[in-house]
Structure 1
Amino acid sequence: MNATQTRHTELIRPRPSRPLISVVVPCYNEEEAVGVFSAAISETLSVADFGYEIVFIDDGSSDKTREALIALAQHEQKVRVIALSRNFGKEAALTAGLDHARGDAVVVMDADLQDPPALIMAFVEKWREGFDVVYGARADRARDTFAKRLSAEGFYRFFNRISKIKLPDDAGDFRLMDRRVVKAIKSLPERSRFMKGLFAWAGYSTIGVPYARPERAAGETKFSFWRLWNFALDGIVSFSTAPLRIWSYVGVVIALLSFAYASFIILRTLLTGVDVPGYASIVVLILFFGSVQLISVGVLGEYIARLFTEVKRRPIYLVDEVYDNEGESSQSHQERYSVKSAS
């Protein structure tokens, strides 16, 4: 058993002879990429021995992404478009895609073709072997900047150290999931969703398939450093209480140091009769303790904010319209107003 394989049952669950594979693609301002992506997927999967559908999620794009997707849906029988009412974020868009996918297995991938469509064939092969989750493991990050490689490596190491859930190294959202895994993820009620963590939390038999990640086919990345920072923070807060524990330990250490310093001052004054001078040191200590308190309150505030989001019970997303080759169709009340969560 290699390092990328987490578990595999000896009794392989039967798969349909000709399964339907749903390809879920969240899109935000990808008007330049969606046409190229759809053509690449169709070319790759047209010779496959399984059926497929492409479910595009327009996450409130401000360019002509929706128009481009509608045009695709009108001419491609296998294309469906779920247009959200505004930009809810990638995690919400992924959730919408899983909710609307109809396949026996679901592949999640980006529209920029950095997730190679040809790898879907390898995913399906591993799925037929009995694995419930097959993810793409990036063989290298040579095309990433040094800062991005360093921050990604640091995040994965830190997350896996403080969380009971372990994220596979160099794994993104690109993966195939069996229908029962998708069903399990859809049943999770939280509003603040870190999908990589939810995928890992679900468990099931998992294996990674190494691949080289190419350049974007078109457009530019929508993830700035600040968005990546907030994304990492959401993941840590969603799956670990370690930050709260850490600041409790920091408080204990500072309290012990303060007690030791106070004892030193008292003993020196009693033994020598000399007051310990140091207005500057007092000011520094006040500023230091004040900053520690503000940081600890901020950490606590992150968790309280998550509670605030959960108790409001807003939907994760709202669907504006659904499009396919038969034209525009409206959503039912239940589909449009999911009670699961808001981002």
Structure 2
Amino acid sequence: MVPKYSLIIPILDEESTIFELYRRISPVMDHLDGLVELILVNDGSRDRSLDLIRDLHEKDPRVCYLSFARNFGHQIAVTAGLNFARGQAVVILDADLQDPPELIPELVRQWQQGYEVVYAQRTQRRQEGWFKRCTAYVFYRLLRQLADVDIPTDTGDFCLMDRRVVDVLNAMPERNRYLRGLRSWIGFRQTAVPFERDPRFAGEVKYTFHKSLGLAINGLVSFSKIPLRFSTYLGLFAAVVAVIMAVLVVYWRVFYPKSPLTGYAIIAVAIFFLGAVQLFSIGILGEYIGRIYEEVKNRPLYTLAEVAGFTDSAAVQPSPRSKPTPSGNRDRLC
């Protein structure tokens, strides 16, 4: 039987949270007005997460799971869940319980009122350090100003999307995926549901500063050409400064021949300045060229080691440009 709701949760080394996650999400699934499938995507976990997911699948036929052959990253794990989701409404949330499952009924109510995208918007980040809060605050507002589309501030991947929106997402060929940006780019009727983000239930934070920075750069480069323009403007500024400095050096050489400003120090400063501008511009250009390189290789977005809980037993590797046929070696009806 085709489920009405699909809940997608990426899993990476979450053995300390899986049972608590299931305990809290199970009553939510029980009270939804239709069949539910819970899709757990194992993103190359190195602990006992996959074994615990298998146990849940054996105990509850609503639990389906995908297991990657290696770690492919959070955004790709969500993408895989979207590829396999069959519900008319698809909910994405994290496994660390910072996205409260109890908010799902409110997302559903907004969907039933006609909204195709209902995203959860954070009003407060509990027990997060000042550095994390400040950098997140600055990034979301900077991205909104620079992006070609209106990406809401203080929103993550926690959302509900209508089947039409999911089908459009699955048809999009991007490899460097920033899903909250793609979600805004698609359009349709969208609304926010405010919530206070809870602290992580247990375990270690998976989005380290390095990963968060990478996601931020990916979002900025994927939805804005302004960094390229900025490098152009910076080059023009450097050229103007170079002309001014050349005029000043000639002036000082003619009228103040003994001035220290006509020596090697000012030449060295000018060289370092121009070199920094060039390297910075090349770096920005490299970010865009790197994405072109990733796109033209046209490799699959992910490889699957194990799939269970879906009805079609024909093992098919998903194409990066089309919705895959759900498949696996542990077939069970969800």
SS in 1 for 2:25: helix
CA distance 1:70–1:256, shift in 2 (3 Å): same
Is residue 2:189 matched to residue 1:205?
yes
Note the 1:228-307 alignment, pairs <5 A: 228-269=212-253, 277-307=262-292
SS in 1 for 2:82: helix
CA distance 1:41–1:258, shift in 2 (3 Å): same
Aligned to 1:310: 295
Aligned to 1:45: 29
Following superposition, the deviation at residue 50 of structure 1 comes to 2.2
SS in 1 for 2:124: coil
Q: Give the unaligned 5+ runs of structure 2.
A: 323-334
Cα separation, 1, equivalents of 2:284 and 2:42: 33
Deviation larger for 286-295 or 175-184: 286-295
Cα separation, 1, equivalents of 2:3 and 2:302: 29
Cα separation, 1, equivalents of 2:123 and 2:141: 17
Cα separation, 2, equivalents of 1:115 and 1:268: 64
Following superposition, the deviation at residue 65 of structure 1 comes to 0.7
Cα separation, 1, equivalents of 2:147 and 2:32: 39
Is residue 2:106 matched to residue 1:122?
yes
Cα separation, 1, equivalents of 2:59 and 2:299: 35
Contact 1:316 1:340 in 2 (8 A): no
Is residue 2:112 matched to residue 1:157?
no
Cα separation, 1, equivalents of 2:125 and 2:256: 63
Amino acid at match of 2:262: P
Aligned to 1:332: 315
Following superposition, the deviation at residue 217 of structure 1 comes to 2.3
Aligned to 1:12: none
Following superposition, the deviation at residue 114 of structure 1 comes to 1.5
CA distance 1:51–1:271, shift in 2 (3 Å): same
Q: What fraction of aligned residue pairs are identical, expressed as a percent? A: 39
Contact 1:21 1:50 in 2 (8 A): yes
Is residue 2:120 matched to residue 1:136?
yes
Aligned to 2:329: none
The alignment's TM-score, normalised by the length of structure 2, stands at 0.90
Contact 2:8 2:90 in 1 (8 A): yes
Aligned to 2:76: 92
Aligned to 2:326: none
Cα separation, 1, equivalents of 2:134 and 2:39: 33
Cα separation, 2, equivalents of 1:320 and 1:179: 27
Following superposition, the deviation at residue 29 of structure 1 comes to 0.5
Can you list the C-alpha shifts for 1:97-147, whole angstroms capped at 9, x where unaligned? 000001001000011121111111111111010000111111212422100
Cα separation, 1, equivalents of 2:310 and 2:283: 49
Cα separation, 2, equivalents of 1:273 and 1:218: 69
SS in 1 for 2:120: strand
Deviation larger for 211-220 or 167-176: 211-220
Cα separation, 1, equivalents of 2:320 and 2:157: 24
Is residue 2:155 matched to residue 1:171?
yes
The alignment's TM-score, normalised by the length of structure 1, stands at 0.88
SS in 2 for 1:260: helix
Contact 1:137 1:211 in 2 (8 A): yes
Cα separation, 1, equivalents of 2:27 and 2:302: 32
Cα separation, 2, equivalents of 1:268 and 1:216: 62
Following superposition, the deviation at residue 264 of structure 1 comes to 2.7
Contact 2:66 2:304 in 1 (8 A): yes
Following superposition, the deviation at residue 88 of structure 1 comes to 0.2
Cα separation, 2, equivalents of 1:215 and 1:267: 62
Can you list the C-alpha shifts for 1:16-60, whole angstroms capped at 9, x where unaligned? xx9711000011111111121112111222123222110000011
CA distance 1:51–1:239, shift in 2 (3 Å): same
Following superposition, the deviation at residue 330 of structure 1 comes to 5.9
Cα separation, 1, equivalents of 2:165 and 2:143: 22
Note the 1:13-52 alignment, pairs <5 A: 20-52=4-36
Deviation larger for 43-52 or 59-68: 43-52
Amino acid at match of 2:272: L
Contact 2:90 2:160 in 1 (8 A): yes
SS in 1 for 2:46: coil
Contact 1:70 1:324 in 2 (8 A): no
Contact 1:77 1:325 in 2 (8 A): no
Following superposition, the deviation at residue 212 of structure 1 comes to 1.7
CA distance 1:285–1:273, shift in 2 (3 Å): closer
Cα separation, 2, equivalents of 1:63 and 1:92: 20
SS in 2 for 1:139: strand
Can you list the C-alpha shifts for 1:144-190, whole angstroms capped at 9, x where unaligned? 21000110011111111111122212111110000000011111111
Amino acid at match of 1:246: F
Cα separation, 2, equivalents of 1:279 and 1:57: 60
